């Protein structure tokens, strides 16, 4: 499993928005793009997808921009990836029967891996990521002093 560039950029943009969540002010695309080094046009497409998925909301006008649609602690990494990548969460009770015992074993192992990955992604919220980032920044500051 690998994190796509699209998902990484989206998570970085949402982290930036989560950092400014308390201010209640919308963030403009160019502001987010500059802070996280994301191409403006690409970020615009990502935010449109996240808006349709209910992760962010947009505000029009001269002071417009994008805001998180929910509190940072209520948005999991899984929610973000599901919105962008369209994760298909299988329960293992498919209508199709495996072709052989071997393929059934492979499918069961893959299902177990997918469930474990989903559990980890559901465990972490944007708030958790912000806290981890802030904690590491503190360590970096202490290290260089």
Q: For residue 106, is pLDDT > 70?
A: yes
CA angle 11, 17, 116 (to 5 degrees): 30
CA distances (Å), origin 20, targets 57, 77, 130, 145: 14, 18, 11, 27
Determine the Cα–Cα distance for residues 23 and 2; give it in Å rounded to an integer. Answer: 34
Determine the Cα–Cα distance for residues 144 and 66; give it in Å rounded to an integer. Answer: 35
pLDDT digits (tens, 9 = 90+) for 30-47: 999 999 999 999 999 999
Report the pLDDT value the prediction gives residue 143, as an integer from 0 to 100.
58
Report the pLDDT value the prediction gives residue 90, as an integer from 0 to 100.
46
pLDDT level of residue 139 (50, 70, 90 thresholds): confident
Q: How far is CA 83 from the centre of its chain?
A: 8
pLDDT level of residue 86 (50, 70, 90 thresholds): confident
Q: Is the pTM of this model over 0.75?
A: yes
Report the pLDDT value the prediction gives residue 96, as an integer from 0 to 100.
59
Determine the Cα–Cα distance for residues 75 and 124; give it in Å rounded to an integer. Answer: 8
């Amino acid at each position: 499993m690998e994190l796509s560039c699209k998902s990484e950029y989206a998570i970085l943009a949402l982290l930036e928005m989560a950092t400014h969540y308390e201010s209640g002010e919308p963030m403009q695309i160019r502001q987010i793009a500059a802070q996280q080094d994301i191409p403006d046009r690409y970020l615009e497409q990502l935010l449109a997808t996240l808006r349709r998925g209910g992760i962010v909301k947009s505000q029009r006008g001269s002071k417009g921009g994008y805001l998180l649609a929910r509190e940072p602690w209520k948005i999991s990494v899984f929610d973000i990836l599901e919105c962008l990548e369209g994760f298909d969460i299988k329960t293992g009770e498919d209508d199709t029967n495996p072709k052989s015992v071997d393929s059934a074993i492979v499918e069961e192992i893959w299902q177990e891996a997918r469930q474990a990955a989903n559990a980890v992604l559901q465990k972490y919220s944007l708030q958790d990521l912000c806290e981890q980032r802030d904690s590491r920044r503190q360590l970096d500051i202490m290290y260089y002093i």
